[in-house]
């Protein structure tokens, strides 16, 4: 049975992908989000059992004779580029379709012209306060200066992250060819499926940039360098605040397993990154920016909850089968604003509960699992919980959840024949034998 936990993990990853794409809302707007959330939990549970029963491909996997297999993801990306170009051509960046990229363009223009970034703007036809954190818009200074589409940068970051932080570790694994090819092809099948069912991820948003950040974060958990750990963590924290409750658990695990110095160095690196990229250049000019941004998010959620479909009189963003917001809209008491505030409170409480439960489980029961794997599994559950209770569950937001299954799958052992050779510690060196002197020692007479 132990050899099949990896295959159970693979099936859970595929199920989660299908429930987001081709089977989206297959069981209705109330049951479908439950199925999707349960699929995310299955991914985490099966990954844990797989690591405990059959081991995992750790950092010791150093086989590099299969580097030529990187041609497989490179060809997949090459076939993906023309289709992506057609999607960009059919997706004009107008406010009526989405205000994400037009808003980012305003941030970038203000920065390049020396204007305050975090202040009210009316260029989109309505008054809005900037809500995006620097890591979500600051990289787009590059395409603005060089004169190419912002969406190519976001897609490029995701492509590089898949190649460097997913495909490259996979090709170094001492696994069977079938397992290797399956792991290399799967993420690009997922990309094609997401693009077929919903162009919003690439056509109207820059969410692929954030997915790239999180893939980098997942790979950084196995690094020993403080700055290699801190940089992805800063990028994730300064793209969205969703990660903030998971960070103390990660620091606590490092403190316990590696010592106080490692935890303090990582904390200092993250604090320094946030200070240099956000607090000093932007937040210090208006200390109310975070509060004003949250108020803007609240008003935007109210607007989205009022976008009623003509036939059903239900807000369509909530009834796509991807989040629990439909329950709060339909059954929660109070006004519309009260229901939105309630789901925000439940979201924060649920994420905190996931972290606290994980901390109690680890520090009390000491599971037979590497602490870095445990942090990655908890991160998967944490993000699934966060986006299950997000106020407006747009599909391009929830896509991050299925891509965070890839790092878990990459480390799992699928083929039973590989279990005997993969990631096995080298045998201990034979003890040195003491050389026996055959010539007698000279005898000294006592005087």
| Amino acid 436: pLDDT | 41
| Amino acid 403: pLDDT | 97
> Which residues pair with residue 128 across a beta bridge?
121
CB 245 within 8 A of CB 352: yes
pLDDT tens per residue, the chain (447 residues)?
566 888 999 999 999 999 999 999 999 999 999 999 999 999 999 999 999 888 888 754 555 557 778 888 999 899 889 999 999 999 888 887 888 999 999 999 999 999 999 999 988 888 889 999 999 999 999 999 999 999 999 999 999 999 999 999 898 888 888 888 999 999 999 999 999 888 888 999 999 999 999 999 999 999 989 999 999 999 999 998 899 999 999 999 999 999 999 999 999 999 999 999 999 999 998 899 889 988 998 999 998 998 887 777 789 889 999 999 999 999 999 999 999 999 999 999 999 999 999 999 999 998 889 999 999 999 999 999 999 999 999 999 999 999 999 999 999 988 755 444 444 334 344 444 344 444 444 444 443
Q: How far is CA 227 from CA 20, 245, 288, in A?
A: 35, 21, 30
| Amino acid 370: pLDDT | 93
- Residue of 14, 21, 22 lying closest to 40 (CA atoms): 14
The CA distance from 333 to 329, in Å, is 9
| Amino acid 178: pLDDT | 86
| Amino acid 61: pLDDT | 53
Is residue 437 included in any domain, yes or no? no
Question: What pTM value is reported for the model?
Answer: 0.90
| Amino acid 307: pLDDT | 84
Is residue 429 included in any domain, yes or no? no
Domains: count for the chain: 1
What is the pLDDT of the chain when averaged over all its residues? Answer: 88
Is residue 122 included in any domain, yes or no? yes
Sequence-distant (≥ 6) Cβ neighbours of residue 399 within 8 angstroms: 20, 194, 201, 207, 211
Is residue 435 included in any domain, yes or no? no
Is residue 434 included in any domain, yes or no? no
| Amino acid 427: pLDDT | 38
Is residue 447 included in any domain, yes or no? no
| Amino acid 419: pLDDT | 46
Is residue 17 included in any domain, yes or no? yes
> pLDDT tens-digit profile of 317-366?
899 999 999 999 999 999 999 999 999 999 999 999 999 999 999 999 98
Is residue 52 included in any domain, yes or no? yes
- Structural domain including 286 reads 2-308+315-420
């Amino acid at each position: 049975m132990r050899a099949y936990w990896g295959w159970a993990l693979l099936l859970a990853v595929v199920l989660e992908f299908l429930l987001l794409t081709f089977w989206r809302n297959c069981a209705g707007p109330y049951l479908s989000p439950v199925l999707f959330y349960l699929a995310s939990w299955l991914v985490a549970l099966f990954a844990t059992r797989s690591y405990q029963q059959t081991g995992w491909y750790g950092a010791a996997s150093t086989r590099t004779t299969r580097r030529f297999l990187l041609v497989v993801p490179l060809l997949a990306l090459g076939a993906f580029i023309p289709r992506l170009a057609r999607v960009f051509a059919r997706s004009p960046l107008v406010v009526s379709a989405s205000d994400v990229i037009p808003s980012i363009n305003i941030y970038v223009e203000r920065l390049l012209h020396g204007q305050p970034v975090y202040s009210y703007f009316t260029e989109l036809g309505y008054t809005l306060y900037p809500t995006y954190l620097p890591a979500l818009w600051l990289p787009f200074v590059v395409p603005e200066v060089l004169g190419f589409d912002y969406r190519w940068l976001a897609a490029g970051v995701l492509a590089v992250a898949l190649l460097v932080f997913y495909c490259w570790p996979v090709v170094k694994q001492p696994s069977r060819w079938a397992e290797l090819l399956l792991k290399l092809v799967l993420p690009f099948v997922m990309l094609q499926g997401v693009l077929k069912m919903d162009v919003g991820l690439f056509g109207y948003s820059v969410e692929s940039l954030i997915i790239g950040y999180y893939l980098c974060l997942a790979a950084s958990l196995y690094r020993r360098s403080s700055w290699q750990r801190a940089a992805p963590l800063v990028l994730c924290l300064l793209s969205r605040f969703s990660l903030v409750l998971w960070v103390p658990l990660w620091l606590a695990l490092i403190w316990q397993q590696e010592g106080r110095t490692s935890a303090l160095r990582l904390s200092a690196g993250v604090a320094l990154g946030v200070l240099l990229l956000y607090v000093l250049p932007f937040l210090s000019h208006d200390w109310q920016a975070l509060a004003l941004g949250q108020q803007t998010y609240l008003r935007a959620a109210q607007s989205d909850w009022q976008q009623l479909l003509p036939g059903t009189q239900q807000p369509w963003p909530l009834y796509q089968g991807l989040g629990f917001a439909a329950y709060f809209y339909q059954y929660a008491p109070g006004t519309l604003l009260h229901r939105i505030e309630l789901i925000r409170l439940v979201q924060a409480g649920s994420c905190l509960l996931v972290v606290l439960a994980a901390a109690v489980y680890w520090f009390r029961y000491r599971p037979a699992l590497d602490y870095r794997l445990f942090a990655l599994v908890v991160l998967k559950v944490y993000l699934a919980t966060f986006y299950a209770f997000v106020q407006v569950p747009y599909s391009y937001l929830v896509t991050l959840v299925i891509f965070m299954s890839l790092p878990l799958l990459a480390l799992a052992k699928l083929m039973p024949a590989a279990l005997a050779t993969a990631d096995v510690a080298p045998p201990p060196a034979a003890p040195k034998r003491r050389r026996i002197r055959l010539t007698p020692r000279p005898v000294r007479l006592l005087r």
